[in-house]
Structure formats: C-alpha cells, structure tokens
C-alpha cells in the first residue's frame, strides 16, 4: 500500500534521512521505532509532504506522492496524527471531528463516521460539546486520532500516540489502535515505546540516525539481542 524507496531528506544542510526504504502492506500495522532524533517524525512529515524529498520516492497505491500537495495526500487516503496532539483548542470535540472531514461533502456518510469514531472513543461522546483545549492529554490524543479517522483514511500515520500518557491510558490507546486496524485501516505507527509498538504490529523497522538498522516481523525483532539491548531493556 505504501512504499518508501531510498528516501533522503535534508533540513538545510543537515542530512536527516539517509536512504531509508520500507513498506507497509494493506491491512497491517507496521512500527517504526528508534530513539530521540532518529528521524521518525521526519519520515511521517515527508510522507504527508510537509517536507520535501531530496532523493528517493514515496509510492502510495503505486502512485508517487512526492509532488502532490498535502491536502491531496489526505484526499488519497493518508491521514497523519502528528506528535503532541494538535487539536483546535477553541473548538468543541464535535467541531474538531467535523474539521477532520473537511475534504468530504457527504453529510450522511460523515454522520456515520462520527458514530464510528464515538464507538472507538466513547470518552469523546461523553464530552462532545466540551472545548478541546480543556480535555486531558489522553483525551486530546483520542480526539486527534478521531479527527484523523474522519477523513476515512486507508492508512493512518501515528506519531507517538502514547507519549506522556499514564499507563492505563497507554493500554487503552494501544487497544484502540488495534481495533481501528481490525476495522480495516492500515497503520504506520511511530513509537519510542518499542515494546508496546512491537507487540501490536506485524512488522517493524528500527531507525538509527536516519538509517534503518534492523527490520523484520515484530516477533522476530523482539527476540533480536541487539534490539533487546538497545530498545527493550528498561
């Protein structure tokens, strides 16, 4: 579904991504793990075309996306939930969700999708008229994910959905990610919480300073001594 081929990305003269290749097959959860500064967010931003590709290509359903505008990429079915829960604080929960459907006009279908989002996130339903800025951090994360779902994505790019959440909420978020995947959405999951990410994903890539240093089925990665030493022993 999504193929990244020999990707190079620069910030000015800084060579942040140095020839990264990976693939996300339809229906799977793929995790991209690595420590601070490895380049995980840079890759997601490049897929969404918030950053330019210097070399290499990004193919979504066989079509190169690197020359498309960011809104076109959303229309194609790629939805990005950035790091740090960007919600519109002055809008209510329901208004935030409606913003997620801005590329669509089919009101009935939008209402159907709202119901689906509230099914995944019952907490949001209880708070649908609350201003997003007054939600807790975990609730804002749920709202950001719910809003991304409102564009009916074929693939969701999740950037550290568990960051800063209490353990119980982390459990809840990972369970919801699995649920969203089971209901048909492919997921590219970026996480520092390698253990949890590998547990719910089918395949994983380990990134270090802009390069993929290991990849494999998640089960296999979890048994790889190098991965255990660097990312799983805490």
Residues near ligand ATP, by CB under 6 A: 11, 14, 16, 34, 36-42, 83, 192
Q: Is residue 173 a contact partner of residue 167, using CB atoms and an 8 Å limit?
A: no
11 binds, among Mg ion, ligand ATP, none (CB under 5 to 8 A by kind): ligand ATP
Check binding of 41 to Mg ion (CB under 5 A): yes
CB of 157 to ligand ATP, least distance (A): 12
Strand partners, 14: 11
Among residues 172 and 191, whose Cβ is nearest to Mg ion?
191
CB of 82 to ligand ATP, least distance (A): 10
CB of 11 to ligand ATP, least distance (A): 3
CB of 14 to Mg ion, least distance (A): 15
**Quick count: other Cβ atoms within 10 Å of Cβ 109?**
12
d(CA 220, CA 201): 11
**Quick count: other Cβ atoms within 10 Å of Cβ 97?**
26
d(CA 28, CA 13): 35
Among residues 114 and 190, whose Cβ is nearest to Mg ion?
190
d(CA 76, CA 92): 27
Among residues 37 and 217, whose Cβ is nearest to ligand ATP?
37
Task: Point out which span in 21-29, 39-47, 109-117, 179-187 binds Mg ion (CB under 5 A).
Answer: 39-47
For the beta sheet containing 55-60, the strands, ordered from the edge strand earlier in sequence to the opposite edge, are 14-24, 2-11, 55-60, 63-64
Residue nearest to Mg ion (CB): 41
| Helix or strand (DSSP H, E) at 18 | strand 14-24
Among residues 40 and 147, whose Cβ is nearest to ligand ATP?
40
């Amino acid at each position: 579904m999504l193929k990244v081929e020999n990707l190079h990305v620069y910030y000015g003269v800084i060579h942040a991504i140095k020839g990264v290749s990976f693939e996300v097959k339809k229906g799977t959860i793929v995790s991209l793990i690595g420590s601070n500064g490895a380049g995980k967010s840079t890759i997601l931003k490049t897929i969404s075309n918030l950053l330019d590709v210097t070399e290499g290509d990004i193919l979504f359903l066989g079509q190169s996306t690197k020359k498309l505008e960011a809104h076109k990429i959303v229309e194609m079915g790629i939805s990005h939930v950035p790091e740090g829960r960007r919600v519109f604080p002055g809008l209510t929960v329901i208004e935030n969700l409606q913003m997620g459907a801005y590329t669509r006009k089919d009101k009935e279908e939008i209402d159907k999708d709202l119901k689906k989002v509230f099914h995944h996130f019952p907490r949001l339903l209880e708070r649908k008229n609350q201003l997003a800025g007054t939600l807790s951090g975990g609730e804002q994360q749920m709202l950001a994910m719910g809003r991304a779902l409102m564009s009916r994505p074929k693939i969701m790019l999740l950037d550290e959905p568990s960051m800063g959440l209490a353990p119980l909420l982390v459990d809840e978020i990972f369970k919801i990610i699995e649920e969203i995947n089971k209901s048909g959405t492919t997921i590219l999951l970026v996480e520092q919480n390698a253990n949890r990410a590998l547990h719910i994903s089918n395949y994983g890539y380990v990134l270090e300073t802009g390069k993929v240093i290991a990849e494999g089925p998640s089960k296999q990665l979890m048994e790889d001594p190098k991965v255990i030493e660097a990312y799983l022993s805490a």
